[in-house]
Amino acid sequence: MKTLTGKVITAPGIKPTVEVKWNRENFWVYGAIEPLTGDHFLHEYPQLNGDYFQEFLNWLSHELGSDYAILQIDQAPAHISSAIRWPKNVIPLLQPPHSPEFNPIERLWQFLKRSPKNELFSDLQALRDRLQEMFDQLTLQQVMSVSSYNFILEALFYAASHYSREQGRLNA
């Protein structure tokens, strides 16, 4: 709930003032987006850890139904724990260390964080409501503009074709 501050425009010689809160309550939004369609899957959890990531994977698998997804992940301990059991329809794609700019969902988070700058929230529910409002207002064009870069799409197409070939060999 700590206020994120950003630049504001004022008249020359006027110092801007922004009320801030320093409370540190939080929750985590786990998410996945499909760069070509703009479909997004978002779910809230109280912490970032392997158990909640597993819950997210199971939820995502259920939401996908018979579809498959390649989920690009960073190398956070919660994502690469040996205890993680990947559902058959969710395929992990590890990104290089320290490179969040390669991950479509990280680009979406950066885009969304611009909106609530200089806003105060009375409690976590008010923040949740504001986030839900932002997610509801997302357009296909916005999601695609932050996630559909050629290098991301090429990597995902390569991973999908490589996975398909591997599955074909295993089924033969």
Tens-place pLDDT, residues 47-63: 989 999 999 999 999 99
Torsion angle in degrees (nearest 10) through CA of 48, 119, 128, 105 = -50
User: 73 and 92 in contact (C-beta within 8 Å)?
Assistant: yes
The pLDDT value given to residue 44: 92
Q: Give the mean model confidence (pLDDT) for residues 57-86.
A: 92
Compute the distance between CA of residue 68 and CA of residue 148 in angstroms, rounded to an integer.
Answer: 18
At residue 125, the pLDDT reads 92
Q: Which residues of 16-35 are buried (b: 16+ CB within 10 A; e: fewer)?
A: eeeeeeeeeeeebebbbbbb
Give the model's confidence band at 150: pLDDT under 50 very low, under 70 low, under 90 confident, else very high: confident
Query: Can you give the pLDDT at residue 89?
Result: 94
For each of the domains in the chain, give its residue range(s) and CATH number, in order of start: 28-166 (3.30.420.10)
Residues 144, 35, 113, CA angle at the centre, nearest 5°? Answer: 60
Q: What is the mean pLDDT of residues 151-159?
A: 71
Q: What is the mean pLDDT of residues 67-84?
A: 89
What is the reported pLDDT for 23? Answer: 66
pTM over 0.75: no
Does 52 or 153 have the greater pLDDT score? 52
Query: Band of the pLDDT at 7, cuts 50, 70, 90?
Result: confident
* Digit-coded pLDDT (tens) for 129-149: 998 898 888 888 888 888 777
Q: How confident is the model at residue 156 (pLDDT cuts 50, 70, 90)?
A: low
